[in-house]
Chains A and B, each alone.
Chain A
Amino acid sequence: MIQFDAVHKRFPNGTTAVHDLTLEMPEGGVTVLVGSSGCGKTTTLRMINRMVEPTSGTVRVAGRDVTRQDAAELRRSIGYVIQQAGLFPHRTVLDNIATVPLLLGQGRKRARARAAELLETVGLAPDAAKRYPHQLSGGQQQRVGVARALAADPPVLLMDEPFGAVDPVVRTQLQDELLRLQKELSKTIVFVTHDIDEAVRLGDQIAVFRTGGHLVQCAPPAELLARPADDFVADFLGAERGLKLLSLTSLAEIPQTPAETLRADEAVPPAGTGARWRLVTTAAGAPLGWLDADARHHDGPAGDAPLLPVRALRDTDSLLSALNESIASPGGLVARVTADGAVTGVTSRELIHDHAGAAHVAAGPAPAVTAPAVTGPAERAA
């Protein structure tokens, strides 16, 4: 656990970077520090490994005041990933990763063996080992940066806008991999970003900073989105914060009804003999598209008929993607599939809307506006 206790940081030029910060970053959790540039989030992060010294107050890692420890030794016990990776351009990827084990006095052979192992952990091919950083793409360099930070297996990982300089597609990949790694490793991670979507995806708790180094609010993502402390936080979260909240809720809890399906090799049934929108599937049950049974412009097998696209959802997909699909789907039905992609049923637009509302209620709206606004199914049942 990392504790900030009444921490102040004033730079010699007189600017206050961090103002009276008291904050706890729980063990094994991801704490994301967000805010616009110059709000003190990076300074906060850098006070943890003493890259910046607090002007007053104490920072403790695992109960020990960091300023009472040798700075170099402290830093070797804390993983540190920075924007643009900051790799050593004159060292191979393998030697970059082996940096901290070597500083800790492990033999070259052992350090390199550990580095090779980490190459795989962060999803890089073994042949990357002998290359130099400039021969890698930005995303690959970031992976090496993460591997280097993990090399000595530190309990704490500091990440300063690590994915800020890569394109959005790669960024999403790297975020996914970080979440996967975190599931295995359970590090105490402090993550700095100015991207609120990234914060919501990765954070177990999110600390929002305002210019001048003031911590405005620290809460789990759902609570933050449902109940921003003030207008500053609400503005920062953006106009779509309701939708962002839905991105945090999975579909697993939402019931489904049996789907009216047609196998691709079956004939299209006569009009009016069932539901208008039928889900056409492969023999294995994978969805192919929606068939308008009333249109009757086709008499052959269902698979040859003109189909409207379907994007089937798994239980792990978010309520936000379900809401999106319920708008895009012709009959307002969302197709549900197993992890293997076989159709299990459908969920109606209305039910998804009800649950979307309930998600807001569950996250806890501000007490003053609670009572009249609530119309979730949970309340109706009660």
Chain B
Amino acid sequence: MYELFKNLGTWLTSGAQWSGGDGIAHRLAEHLQYSLLATLIAAAIGLPLGLLIGHTGKGAFVAINLASFGRALPTVGLVVLVFLASGLSMWPVYIALVALAVPAIVTNTYAGMTAVDPDVKDAARGQGMRGHQVLRQVELPLALPLIMTGLRLALIQVVATATIAAYVSFGGLGRYVFDGLAQRDLVQVLGGAVLVAVVAVVLDVALAGLQRFLFRHRTA
């Protein structure tokens, strides 16, 4: 056991392991690129959808069902499915990751919008704000903490799941996990897993800190 951790330590800290095309630095950059791009696409789809449902109050069942759908969706299955349909490309990876992230974003955005005090929305309309002004000046800023929580959750899930890019022969930190498994190199598998976990935790903590800073004036 001790031996394993010692080897893991060496693996993680050796300069050689960090450099080159198969180095940690490069794999990390790939991993972040997949994750951020997928989350960004998911946000572009999920945010407007959540805001629209929340603002109009119509189509709430979409948001609710999407949440259960997202939880039940087998990501690897989806990757394989799209892979069979599209052949070797990044499509399966991005489609799977986006499908994973959209529900978290939509449901949290919708939850944030419905949590806005109806009295405040009523007052906003009563002062003479038009629909889009209520949305931009009142609902959006008040829902923002929950919207950001949704984005954060989505990003963390995506970072943890982006290992599947390696499953369909692309890069990212999943490379170490899948290669290690194939080569029966436990240290490499463990190293990849630890790196993914560390990236997820660091991002989560950093974003939580940012949220706390941005909303330091809020009561709740």
Contacts and interface: CB of A to CB of B under 8 A. Distances in A.
Interface in A101-160: 103, 132, 134, 148
B138 A86 contact: no
Interface string A88-99: 111000000001
Given A90-B217, A90-B218, A134-B219, A82 B141 contact: no
A254 to B, nearest CB: 45
Interface string B206-220: 000000000001110
A76 interface: yes
B128 A89 contact: no
A89 to B, nearest CB: 7
A51 B125 contact: yes
Contact of A82 (B126, B129, B142, B219): B126
A154 B123 CA distance: 16
Interface in B98-151: 117, 119-120, 122-130, 133, 137-138, 141-142
Nearest to B120: A86
Contacts of B125: 51, 75
A267 to B, nearest CB: 64
Interface in A358-376: none
Contacts of A49: 126
A134 B117 CA distance: 14
A82 B128 contact: no
Contacts, number: 58
A322 to B, nearest CB: 42
B128 A72 contact: yes
A87 interface: yes
A84 B126 CA distance: 14
Interface string B10-43: 0000000000000000000000000000000000
Interface residues of B, number: 20
A72 B123 contact: no
A76 B128 contact: yes
A89 B126 contact: no
Contacts of B119: 82-84, 86
Nearest to A90: B141
A131 B55 CA distance: 28
A80 B126 CA distance: 6
B123 A80 contact: yes
B134 to A, nearest CB: 10
B130 A82 contact: no
B122 A76 contact: no
A103 B133 contact: yes
A138 to B, nearest CB: 14
Contact of A90 (B122, B133, B142): B142
Given A82-B123, A89-B120, A100 B128 contact: yes
A72 B51 CA distance: 22
16 contacts: A51-B126, A72-B128, A74-B128, A75-B128, A80-B123, A82-B122, A85-B123, A86-B117, A86-B122, A86-B126, A87-B123, A88-B123, A88-B137, A89-B142, A89-B218, A90-B142
